[in-house]
A = this chain, B = another copy of it.
Amino acid sequence: MSKHDAVEVIVAKRDGAELSDSQIDWVIDAYTRGGVADEQMSALAMAILLNGMNRREIARWTAAMIASGERMSFASLDRPTADKHSTGGVGDKITLPLAPLVAACGVAVPQLSGRGLGHTGGTLDKLEAIPGWRAALSNDELLAQLGEVGAVVCAAGDGLAPADKKLYALRDVTGTVEAIPLIASSIMSKKIAEGTGALVLDVKVGSGAFMKDAARARELAETMVALGKDAGVHTVALLTDMDTPLGFTAGNGIEVAESVEVLAGGGPADVVELTLALAREMMAGAGVDDVDPADKLADGSAMDAWKAMIRAQDGDPDAALPTAREQHVVTAPSSGVLTRLDAMAVGLAAWRLGAGRARKEDPVQAGAGVVWHARPGDEVTEGAPLFTLLTDEPERFDRALESLDGGYEISTSSIAGADGGASYTPAPLIVDRVS
């Protein structure tokens, strides 16, 4: 197949032209097979980042990546399917309570996930804190578990969109991650190939998110929603705040524990709010409108589904979670209202404590992470614990403390009723909805 050549395609995009369907099909296929070299694809990725792609190009690019591998089908299930994808945030453990909750509501959740890289944690890393739990399932195991339990969180196999896998690794080392057409096509090619019937996208915006800027987050959400709809997947996106981390924990084992609190009917208000909002979108997308997921949290059926889901992948949901060997407490330097808790600062601290990895092949610590004892809007007292830092390696504390430096603000004038101070109201968690 020498219908095109790599330089021709690169030069076309470099010079601002639209790529033809034939050029896109050729370049993705040739790249997957090795006929287009990494140095050619990275130049093309940079040209796409700087010159953009229109909707038709992005749709074709996504279709070509899907065509590079296998497509799964859940048509044999007796239930509709719905999946959720988050663009990544600090303390974002939502998948853990969400998947069993939606399963308990009668919608099957095939959640193919990844590991974390950088300051946002990976869902698989969190679940691997549970003794015995395994991330790798064959396609047959996945389908069987979906039928029996209704929820699966597992590692995406190599068969789905191999072009994306190769391109994602390349973008990571060539400064071409931040291209909306490439982000959107990367996420959506895997989700469409996976075969879910409905999809809810949680697009994070704020300091701890990949997208710092609301306009770009909205553009990404709109692009992905359009791609999903074109492919016949019922797709909705929520834009949600990531200036502040979710809940009170960022790490692996400690996020599992917080998720179990939610499944037990408690847990942080923001985690509960976002879990329920996403669950309702998934159920609406799947066409189920006669169940309120809040009831399934209250009556214990979401917890039952969680335990079944963990046991199906050889995990023990009742076993004690691993804890860190060392801890360091940061106390509040003054009394007042916490008005800012920076998600990026917390995420970096957790990462530096060993909860995340710098390179793909690095291990993570199951017990490491950051617990914060107040959220924006809460009053804090001088000398009382504000953060607890957890790690197995105490030499990590110094750099984690550096990350937190300047990452929060305590305002004395914002105490409700204090002289001249307006009371502080945190920003809303759910910023917008794109459908």
Interface residues of A (CB under 8 A from B): 6-7, 10-11, 14, 37-47, 49-51, 170, 173-176
Contact = CB atoms under 8 A, between A and B. Distances in A.
A41 B42 CA distance: 9
10 contacts: A10-B176, A14-B46, A14-B49, A39-B39, A39-B174, A40-B174, A40-B175, A42-B43, A42-B46, A43-B45
Given A50-B51, A51-B50, A43 B11 contact: no
Q: How many copies does the complex hold?
A: 2
Contacts of A44: 175
A169 B318 CA distance: 60
Kindly list the 10 A-B residue pairs having the minimum CB-CB distance in the complex, ordered from nearest. A10-B175, A46-B46, A43-B174, A38-B39, A39-B42, A42-B43, A11-B175, A43-B46, A39-B39, A50-B50
A50 B14 contact: yes
A369 B12 CA distance: 31
Choose among A11, A38, A44, A46 the residue with the greatest number of B CB atoms under 10 Å from its CB: A46
B14 A175 contact: yes
A50 B14 CA distance: 8
A217 to B, nearest CB: 18
B39 A170 contact: yes
A211 to B, nearest CB: 15
A145 B7 CA distance: 41
A173 B37 CA distance: 9
B6 A43 contact: no
A371 to B, nearest CB: 32
A43 B175 CA distance: 8
A47 B45 contact: no
Contacts of A175: 6-7, 10-11, 14, 40, 43-44, 47
Nearest to A9: B175
Contacts of A6: 173-175
A51 B37 CA distance: 23
A288 B170 CA distance: 55
A176 B50 contact: no
Given A14-B50, A50-B14, A50-B51, A39 B7 contact: no
Contacts of A37: 38-39, 173
Nearest to A172: B7
Contacts of A39: 37-39, 41-42, 170, 173-174
A173 B42 CA distance: 12
A422 to B, nearest CB: 37
A119 B46 CA distance: 28
A44 B10 CA distance: 14
Nearest to A14: B175
